[in-house]
Chains A and B, each alone.
Chain A
Amino acid sequence: MSKSRNSAFAALLAAGLVAGPALAEPLGIGREALPEEIAAWDVAVLPDGTGLREGSGDVETGDELFAEHCASCHGDFAEGLDSWPSLAGGAGSLNDPRPVKTIGSYWPYLSTVYDYVHRSMPFGNAQVLSVDDTYAITAFLLYSNGLVEDDFVLTHENFTDIAMPNAEGFYPDDRPETEYVQFSTEPCMTDCIPGAPEITKRAAELKVTPTEEDGTPAGTLPVISAAADAG
């Protein structure tokens, strides 16, 4: 421990900046973040509403904003165009062979909708939506998913009243109990499966892998015994 580290730590203690038992001793590197800087970068919204800012927006305004900023990819009704993500629909499909996972059918929290749209959409032009814009678009997405009426107004005050349909649809990783126990037994080494292997699936039949001109999978190693590419 150098003297300078000790003195830096002592200075922090003296200034009352280190509360309680410190985990390790600071080096005095970096400078304090200003409120404006934190406000600019910490825009995360947590499920309990932490991080929401004052504002509001209604479905109709959201519909207009969606048409302007979002519908070219996600469709007029948030149903998704081409292969762009569907934001609405798919309710009750989560046990289907091909589930449709959308905000309405799958997402657990409305906070994530607000937060993600505000920070990362529109795709290719993110962080252009105001707080009120984002409330309005979030209201429109609730409406598109059949979760509110068309006169609904979403605000920072009623935000956490909204319960998403799949709020209870998730549970923390349980592999230690459901898989690790089963998979951690001494494995068979000899005569483990009777009979000869029978092929049930062949990727070659799907023909969806990029290929070289000769039809082999892209990146196939060149034939060493053939003449090298003069390049």
Chain B
Amino acid sequence: MSTDNNDETRNPSRRRFLQSSAMAGAGLIAGAGAASAATPDPLITEVQDWASVFGDPVDAAPYGMPIHFEEHVVRRNVEWLTESTASSINFTPIHALEGTITPQGVAFERHHSGAIELSKPDYRLMINGLVDRPLVFTFEDLLRFPRAMTIAFCECAANGGMEWGGAQLEGVQFTQGMIHNMEYTGVMLRDLLAEAGVKPEGKWIYVEGHDASSNGRSLPLEKAMDDVMVAFFANGEALRKEHGYPVRLVVPGWEGNMWIKWLRRIGVYDQAVESREETSKYTDLMPDGRARKWTWVMDAKSVITSPSPQAPIRHGKGPLVITGLAWSGNGKIDRVDVSLDGGRNWQEARITGDARPKALTRFHLDIDWDGSELFLQSRAIDETGYVQPTKQALREIRGLNNVYHNNGIQTWWVKEDGEVENVEIA
């Protein structure tokens, strides 16, 4: 990869106009550079194949995939993070995405015993426990309930967990990419519970999946009756196999572990089950050796997705788009601030599109980069007034072994050559 003095030749600023022209004239660039070109661009002056002959027919791809030039925009895993790829994680390529909706095909996966294949005919959902009438639903049954829609982020509780102890992985895909954001359609959990009739002593629900891990988690009834959805559609089509086909739980704002996939049973109890996934895992060790449990909500967080280590600056000085994502499990994002100097000074970024509650929100800041090093940071503020903390502020309270819920401010060191590194700074 080269980010050498060719960047100078593509600089669009007028101050560099003469120099750029001279170098272009010398044949150093062809087909690039907006400011000037001494020789005509053959991509324009010569008829290209695609302007003359046929492209693919409409029957070439009944279900299309991205063009091969985008083959870097894929999920990636990091082998050493886990012992088995069946109980593991992969990462959404958020460095390469824009807007807020995550394409399902690259939306991260986290399984505890692999992505199972479960057909709609084989699907059953049970509601039992402290209910008036324990029920079994088929998938066909579920399609008859009144439907609802929501857009929500699903962020793994462990997103950024490898970074608690320092800067470790190189790229926003790896440090913040255990997340996706989809538009869901399904039925409200409260409507299913009403069908069974929750008894007054029923205070908790326990939700588990069809897979071998079951991933059982307890939720307080208040949340279940509020905004939890039993979803069948994501981004317009059925859930992907790896995302819980045909039915998953959507738990807006709460840690991804509770978004039970391949949902099999909803048990109503008078107390929490305190299952493995809410005792051994998804509990957060604190400095005194005790641990927080039931840390359900994902706090306000943001990250600059470009520039970032996988998205270096190669176009030289001048106009630069800083783009990123912000989100909060406690409501809407109100504001995102961006710093170019490691938190010394901040300026308010622009929220592009809608800031929806408990959903990914896009922000942009357009700057004129003078080619000097930057320490880029973003800082989300949600509608409760909560301001995304620094990693250091979190560590002062929680120590280094929390494992989960790292929503600390990310720093990217942009070097003069346009390369970008994941760093921590003082």
Contact call A203/B421, Cβ cutoff below 8 A? yes
Compute how far the CA of A124 lies from the CA of B276 in the bound complex, rounded to whole angstroms. 17
Cβ of B199 < 8 Å from any Cβ of A? yes
Contact call B72/A222, Cβ cutoff below 8 A? yes
Cβ of B262 < 8 Å from any Cβ of A? no
Checking A30, A101, A192, A229 against B195 with a beta-carbon cut-off of 8 angstroms, the contacting residue is: A30
Contact call A203/B423, Cβ cutoff below 8 A? yes
- A173: chain B residues at CB < 8 Å are 292-297
Contact call A206/B168, Cβ cutoff below 8 A? yes
Cβ of B357 < 8 Å from any Cβ of A? no
Contact call B291/A169, Cβ cutoff below 8 A? yes
Cβ of A25 < 8 Å from any Cβ of B? yes
Cβ of B256 < 8 Å from any Cβ of A? no
- A180: chain B residues at CB < 8 Å are 384, 386
Contact call B310/A221, Cβ cutoff below 8 A? yes
* Known contacts A29-B141, A219-B76; is-contact A46 B200 (Cβ 8 Å): no
Checking B141, B170, B214, B267 against A209 with a beta-carbon cut-off of 8 angstroms, the contacting residue is: B170
- A149: chain B residues at CB < 8 Å are none
* Known contacts A46-B269, A112-B275; is-contact A204 B295 (Cβ 8 Å): no
Cβ of B137 < 8 Å from any Cβ of A? yes
- A172: chain B residues at CB < 8 Å are 292-294
Contact call A38/B133, Cβ cutoff below 8 A? no
Cβ of A199 < 8 Å from any Cβ of B? yes
Contact call B423/A199, Cβ cutoff below 8 A? yes
The majority secondary structure among interface residues of chain A is loop
- A206: chain B residues at CB < 8 Å are 167-168
Checking A37, A170, A223 against B126 with a beta-carbon cut-off of 8 angstroms, the contacting residue is: A37
- B190: chain A residues at CB < 8 Å are 23-24
Checking A26, A123, A200, A216 against B197 with a beta-carbon cut-off of 8 angstroms, the contacting residue is: A26
The range of chain A's interface size is 35 or more
* Known contacts A44-B275, A109-B274, A169-B289; is-contact A23 B194 (Cβ 8 Å): yes
A162 to chain B, nearest CB (A): 14
Contact call B309/A29, Cβ cutoff below 8 A? no
Identify the interface centre among A38, A84, A173, A183: most chain B CB within 10 Å of its CB.
A183
Contact call A170/B194, Cβ cutoff below 8 A? no
Cβ of A72 < 8 Å from any Cβ of B? no
Cβ of B193 < 8 Å from any Cβ of A? yes
Contact call A38/B134, Cβ cutoff below 8 A? yes
Number of residue pairs across A and B with beta carbons under 8 Å?
A: 310
Stretch at the interface among A57-65, A113-121, A134-142: A113-121
Contact call A29/B212, Cβ cutoff below 8 A? no
Contact call A231/B69, Cβ cutoff below 8 A? yes
Compute how far the CA of A172 lies from the CA of B290 in the bound complex, rounded to whole angstroms. 11
A216 to chain B, nearest CB (A): 6
* Known contacts A42-B128, A209-B170, A225-B6; is-contact A95 B289 (Cβ 8 Å): yes
- B191: chain A residues at CB < 8 Å are 24
Compute how far the CA of A76 lies from the CA of B269 in the bound complex, rounded to whole angstroms. 37
Compute how far the CA of A123 lies from the CA of B130 in the bound complex, rounded to whole angstroms. 31
Compute how far the CA of A223 lies from the CA of B10 in the bound complex, rounded to whole angstroms. 14
- A108: chain B residues at CB < 8 Å are 274, 279
- B314: chain A residues at CB < 8 Å are 223-225
Contact call A175/B276, Cβ cutoff below 8 A? no
Contact call A183/B386, Cβ cutoff below 8 A? yes
- Of residues 12 through 56 on chain B, the ones whose CB sits less than 8 Å from some CB of chain A are 29, 32
Contact call A203/B422, Cβ cutoff below 8 A? yes
- A179: chain B residues at CB < 8 Å are 299, 389, 394, 397
Contact call A220/B269, Cβ cutoff below 8 A? no
* Known contacts A200-B424, A219-B310; is-contact A33 B197 (Cβ 8 Å): no
- B389: chain A residues at CB < 8 Å are 179, 183
Compute how far the CA of A165 lies from the CA of B424 in the bound complex, rounded to whole angstroms. 37
* Known contacts A42-B267, A46-B274, A116-B275; is-contact A20 B342 (Cβ 8 Å): no
B262 to chain A, nearest CB (A): 13
Contact call A220/B293, Cβ cutoff below 8 A? no
- A107: chain B residues at CB < 8 Å are 279-280
Identify the interface centre among A115, A199, A219: most chain B CB within 10 Å of its CB.
A219
- B227: chain A residues at CB < 8 Å are none
Compute how far the CA of A4 lies from the CA of B93 in the bound complex, rounded to whole angstroms. 49
* Known contacts A26-B195, A180-B384; is-contact A223 B346 (Cβ 8 Å): no
A87 to chain B, nearest CB (A): 10
- B293: chain A residues at CB < 8 Å are 170-173
B172 to chain A, nearest CB (A): 10
Cβ of B426 < 8 Å from any Cβ of A? yes
Cβ of B321 < 8 Å from any Cβ of A? no
- A219: chain B residues at CB < 8 Å are 72-74, 76, 93, 95-96, 171, 173, 310
Cβ of B132 < 8 Å from any Cβ of A? yes
Compute how far the CA of A190 lies from the CA of B346 in the bound complex, rounded to whole angstroms. 6
- A selection of 7 A-B contacts at a CB cut-off of 8 Å is A23-B193, A94-B289, A94-B290, A109-B274, A120-B112, A193-B344, A206-B168
Apart from A116-B280, A126-B213, A225-B10, what are 13 other A-B pairs with CB-CB below 8 Å?
A106-B280, A106-B291, A108-B279, A115-B273, A116-B276, A170-B290, A185-B387, A192-B343, A203-B169, A219-B173, A220-B312, A221-B312, A223-B2
Residue numbers of B with Cβ under 8 A of A are: 1-2, 6, 10, 29, 32, 68-69, 72-74, 76, 78-80, 83-84, 86-87, 93, 95-96, 112-113, 126-129, 132-137, 141, 144-145, 166-171, 173-174, 190-191, 193-195, 197-200, 206, 208, 212-214, 216, 225, 264-265, 267, 269, 271-276, 279-280, 283, 285, 287-297, 299, 309-312, 314, 337, 341-347, 375, 379, 381, 384-389, 393-394, 397, 400-401, 411, 413, 421-426
Closest 7 interchain pairs by CB? A197-B342, A24-B194, A94-B289, A126-B212, A201-B424, A203-B422, A33-B134
